[in-house]
Structure 1
Amino acid sequence: MPDELHQAGAGDPDGLDRLWTPHRLAYIRGENKPDDHSTGQCPFCRIPKMDDAEGLIVHRGELAYAVLNLYPYSPGHLMVCPYRHIADYTETTDDEAAEIADLTRAAMRTIRAVSGAQGFNIGMNQGAVAGAGIAAHLHQHVVPRWPGDQNFMPIIGRTKTLPELLGETRDLLAGAFKRR
């Protein structure tokens, strides 16, 4: 090895394993985040036009739907979204708000039944300054939790491990939603 490379540390083993997650680069770059509904770039408006498996939809309601998060915090992390393109919870109709609440409860029951989740983080980030990744279209997160699920990987390694592919999770949850 040339001396200058060795001095810079290139090629020196560091004893760490690598978990490659190239699919997250689209999220990091902010791809598919809508700036303006008129551009047709809103993923939450595009997803309902897709086949359920392709769009990762686990359940369709009349006014809202449940879809897996493409960048999940944990297995089964899904979102409940109104079909209507609105940004703020206060813009929902009474019927939309009721269906979002009902689908959230159904999602919790379904995830708990198929995965044994022992807790949940439920919430909406309203506006970019509040942490909404896609602020232009309202969505509520339903994040299942288990004891010890926040171990050293996300805290120290800034890496999340997911033991199941999104397509498998979608099939499991979609089937369970139909049986309830």
Structure 2
Amino acid sequence: MKSIYAPWRMAYIKSGKAAGCVFCRESLRDESYVLLDGKTAFVMMNAYPYTNGHLMIIPFRHLSRLEDLDQEERLEIFSLLDFSVRVLKEALNPDGFNIGINLGRAAGAGIDDHLHIHVVPRWNGDTNFMSVVGDIRVIPDDILKSCEELKGYFSKYRQEE
């Protein structure tokens, strides 16, 4: 049997499935994971990360298609993407990034009705035997601890703008 320590999952397991979108209803959006609120979009940690520091950039408006973004949202989302990459470079020193949008369930979107961009820091050798042989991803740091550390970086950069 495979066992992996993931204490942040217990809240999800014990909670009932809430109605509505987890990204746009204030009562559902977990504020403890939010790193930065912009004017039209926000940056938050992914509660089920692929690697340490896995972020998402999400428009406040509930929409699922790129073509539904207005110009102000497009500009801010890309600005937040740039901003997030700079923060992650300074805070975590990754060797590279995967940045992507999964449009639709067929494309791998876990939440397909609210557009969001994944920013995934990567390190040379971050795929080890656990991923290859055991089909298990190991996240080496506590997500809430990482979030608190990153909030300091986001706050610092925000003041410099």
TM-score greater than 0.5 by the shorter chain: yes
Structure 2 equivalent of residue 46 of structure 1? 25
TM-score (norm 2): 0.86
Q: Which of 98, 102, 106 in structure 1 is aligned with 2:79?
A: 102
Q: Does 1:118 align with 2:95?
A: yes
Post-superposition, which runs of at least 4 consecutive aligned residues in structure 1 deviate over 4 A?
20-28, 47-51
- Match for 1:158 among 132, 135, 150? 135
Equivalent pairs counted in the alignment come to 155
Q: 3-state SS of the aligned residue for 2:23?
A: helix
3-state DSSP of counterpart to 1:44: coil
How far did 1:47 drift?
5.1
In the aligned structure 1, how far is the partner of 2:7 from the partner of 2:35? 25
1:169 is displaced (CA, Å) by 1.0
- Relative to structure 1, the CA distance from residue 179 to residue 126 in structure 2 (aligned partners, 3 Å threshold; closer, same or farther) is same
The two structures, once aligned, show a CA RMSD in angstroms of 2.6
d(CA) in 1 for partners of 2:27 and 2:39?
12
Which residue does 2:126 correspond to in 1?
149
Query: What secondary structure sits across from 1:79 in the alignment?
Result: strand
Deviation digits for residues 36-61 of structure 1 (CA, Å, limit 9, x no counterpart):
xxx852101135875732xx001110
SS of aligned partner of 1:134: coil
* Identity level (%): 38
Q: Aligned partners of 2:76, 2:67: CA distance in 1, in Å?
A: 14
